[in-house]
Chains A and B, each alone.
Chain A
Amino acid sequence: MTPVAKMVGSRRIITGVRIVNPMGNADLGPEAERALRRDIALRALAILQSDVRPE
């Protein structure tokens, strides 16, 4: 739902995996899925530390 986030003015957006599982992927094994989730969380934490400009 990235376009909606952009439309309402969010400036820090990470595109998740899919709408039905933004931070997971059942097709991967448990280990790989957890690594994927960790990667998204780390990217989210990184963007929280970044300077963003207002719209």
Chain B
Amino acid sequence: MESNKLRVVHYLNQFFGGIGGEDKAGIGPRVIDGPTGPGRALQAAIGNRGEVVATAICGDNFFAENLEEAGNQIVALVRPYDPDILIAGPAFEAGRYGLACGAVCKAVKDKLGIPVVTGMYEDNPGVDLYHKEIIIVRTANSVRGMNEAVDRMVRLALKLAAGESVGKPAEGWYVPRGMIVNEVSERTGAERVVAMLLDKLQGRPFESEVSQPKYGPVPPAPPIKDLSSAVIALVTDGGLVPKGNPDRIESGGATHYGRYSFKGSDRLKAEDLDVNHQGYDSVFIRQDPNRLVPLDVMRDLERERVFAKLHDYFYATTGVATTVENARKMGRGIAAELKAAGVSGVILTST
């Protein structure tokens, strides 16, 4: 029954692929027949249900520096093996390897249309980048967790290959993809929530049907040591935009931000600006935008040399019904631009 065996392709980095350590991290993609390294454990866990027909290998540095190209090359290398499924890693806590596993999985899934599974430790940057698109099994942070990781990856891989549901993340030990799946229940929402409350009151385990967004710790910036030499910038999430909203900042659920110059102005003028924000009554800000972005008093303080300079631009987006993910992305983008411009501190006004 050879033909019913799953054809599995495995992806490894140069280290697990047996080519070498950091000195070989620059090698480009290549493929060998059959399993190697952790692929042998993979083959053992799969047993006679499938065969690891090939192993693709690439150096971590090469991959991280050529993400897209390396992913495409791997696709080209594994395509001739006609795989039914691809398994990558596990990468544990190794960041570059995690990125590579995520990128290989995504490229193979998109280009070859076959199921993919990888495994990483929860803090691996590959988790943040790829968890929405591919199944990432949770693993320990080091190779000590290899057997458990391989077992989990194989279990999910076999389910995916058979077209079965992978179940809820908690049951399958994989990183939630942030998907909402419809499910038929015989009990109404009221019955379920009361049962959950009773479980909670009596200290029994229970699982919420809606997962809370996780914010994660934000390390506070160090204090400004010398305000008299500091460059201060103004940022707002109150939806203040130039008339006509040239960057089409959304009135809610914003995905991007704008950067607008007020160089040479002593105060913001109502006739130049507009508010595009569905979350608050903007009449007071339309009358006087300095109530949101306090240019007038900041110019006074700049003249008085309380601080050295006001940054020439203010940044604006709309903070209502904005996803945490988009807010984080915008925050990082604004912060990177301000840091590059030598800004030392920010006053962010929020509505």
Binding site for B on A (CB under 8 A): 1, 4-5, 7-12, 16, 19-24, 26, 33-34, 37-38, 40-42, 44-45, 48-55
Q: Which residues of B contact A34 (CB under 8 A)?
A: 296-297
Q: Which residues of A contact B150 (CB under 8 A)?
A: none
**Bound-complex Cα distance A6 to B20 (A):** 48
* Interface 9-residue window, one of B110-118, B255-263, B285-293: B285-293
B284–A26 contact, CB under 8 A?
Answer: yes
B351–A19 contact, CB under 8 A?
Answer: yes
B296–A37 contact, CB under 8 A?
Answer: yes
A24–B291 contact, CB under 8 A?
Answer: yes
B284–A12 contact, CB under 8 A?
Answer: no
**Bound-complex Cα distance A27 to B288 (A):** 13
Q: Mark B245-285, 1 if CB is under 8 A from A, else 0.
A: 00000000000000000000000000000000000111111
Range for the number of chain B residues in contact with chain A: 35 or more
A23–B291 contact, CB under 8 A?
Answer: yes
A37–B294 contact, CB under 8 A?
Answer: yes
Enumerate the 5 nearest inter-chain pairs by beta-carbon distance, A residue then B residue, closest first: A24-B291, A9-B218, A21-B284, A11-B220, A38-B297
CB distance from B233 to the nearest CB of A (A): 11
B217–A9 contact, CB under 8 A?
Answer: yes
Given A1-B351, A10-B218, A41-B347, verify A19-B223 contact (CB < 8 Å): no
**Is B340 located at the chain interface by the 8 A CB criterion?**
no
Q: Which residues of B contact A52 (CB under 8 A)?
A: 220, 223
Select from chain B the residue with minimum beta-carbon distance to A40: B294
A22–B291 contact, CB under 8 A?
Answer: yes
**Bound-complex Cα distance A16 to B285 (A):** 14
**Bound-complex Cα distance A53 to B324 (A):** 23
CB distance from A27 to the nearest CB of B (A): 10
**Is B307 located at the chain interface by the 8 A CB criterion?**
yes
**Is B119 located at the chain interface by the 8 A CB criterion?**
no
Q: Which residues of B contact A19 (CB under 8 A)?
A: 280, 351
